[in-house]
Chain A
Amino acid sequence: MTNGILLSSVADVDFMVHGIFPYQFFGHTVWITTTHICLLIVLLVLIGFAIAARIAMKRATEVPGKFQNLVEMIVEMLDNVVKGVMGKNAAKFLNYIGTIFIFILICNISGLFGLRPPTADYGVTLPLGLLTFTIIHYNKFKHQKVKGVLKGLCSPWPIWAPINIIGDIAVPISLSLRLFANVLSGTVMMALVYGLLRAVAIVWPAALHVYFDLFSGAIQTYVFCMLTMTYITDAIGDDEA
């Protein structure tokens, strides 16, 4: 028995990642999946928006037009969020935080447009968590030096070092799993509604879309960026205060 009683065997319910076509990569068979395609679409949209924004800002006027106003509003909003959390360290991280904020937000709400959200694939969220992890530890070593890092590792007593190391490793895992599981649960729920309740799924799933895609997606984006900023601020410490 291969499928049996499980939901995944119901033909209508579909939320898995599908392989589109395989190719050979140094002797390994690697699949191009729906995640790659959705990611590509999201990136193309973002790049298109970025080029349009660049053109608009080159012809920027004193009294902003509609599009210029929108771009300025987005940038100002992101800057204010980052400055509110990171204070004097904000300038260096405005770009990174703004970029991942827009990227994750568009990924999360792409479910509204019929795509399978790329962030509902652990292969997308884990690199985001690892990026944060790298930045945290780069800044830790840069600002606290090796001595400070060792001191932090051995607090309150040297015997706690293994626990502190596990705590450090858990950061990217919990960050990425939180985002992944939230978006995945929304995707599964929508697939169940559209698959099993197909006969009565008229108009009212829109309310579920608002909750699972817009609200939950925006909250998780905010949380991911907020935690990233908090961890980085923590790693920098206040050596330059």
Chain B
Amino acid sequence: MEFNENFVLGCSAIGAGLALIAGIGPGVGQGIAAGHAAAAVGRNPGAKSEITSTMLLGQAVAETTGLYGLLIGMILLFVKPLV
């Protein structure tokens, strides 16, 4: 059975949308990191700058998996590998 191009494009768009579900994970992870950082600052306000930089570094690394999902979505939409 021959699929026409529009059908494949539509499925690619759905796939791109599904790929962006990957954004849930980093969102939860960054929230947990920020919450613990806030608690840490509450316990030890003197170490605020160090805690902030550690938190930002950890969050940026945690973000990577979400960005992979974003890349897959972008490739599906703009590079159109399946068409």
Contact = CB atoms under 8 A, between A and B. Distances in A.
Partners in one complex: yes
Interface in B27-53: 53
A81 to B, nearest CB: 10
A178 B78 contact: no
Interface stretch (A21-29, A111-119, A218-226): A218-226
A201 B71 CA distance: 26
A4 B64 contact: no
A178 B60 contact: yes
A57 interface: no
B5 A1 contact: yes
Interface size class on chain A is 20 to 34
A4 B6 contact: yes
Contacts of B5: 1, 4
A184 B71 CA distance: 9
Contacts of A8: 77-78
A178 B64 contact: yes
Interface of A: 1, 4-8, 16, 174, 177-178, 181-182, 184-185, 188, 219-220, 222-223, 226-227
6 closest Cβ contacts across the A-B interface?
A: A181-B67, A223-B60, A178-B64, A181-B71, A8-B78, A1-B5
Interface of B: 5-6, 9-10, 13, 53, 56-57, 60-61, 63-64, 67-68, 70-71, 74, 77-78, 80
Given A4-B5, A177-B64, A223-B61, 9 more contacts: A16-B78, A178-B60, A178-B63, A178-B64, A181-B68, A185-B67, A219-B56, A222-B57, A223-B57
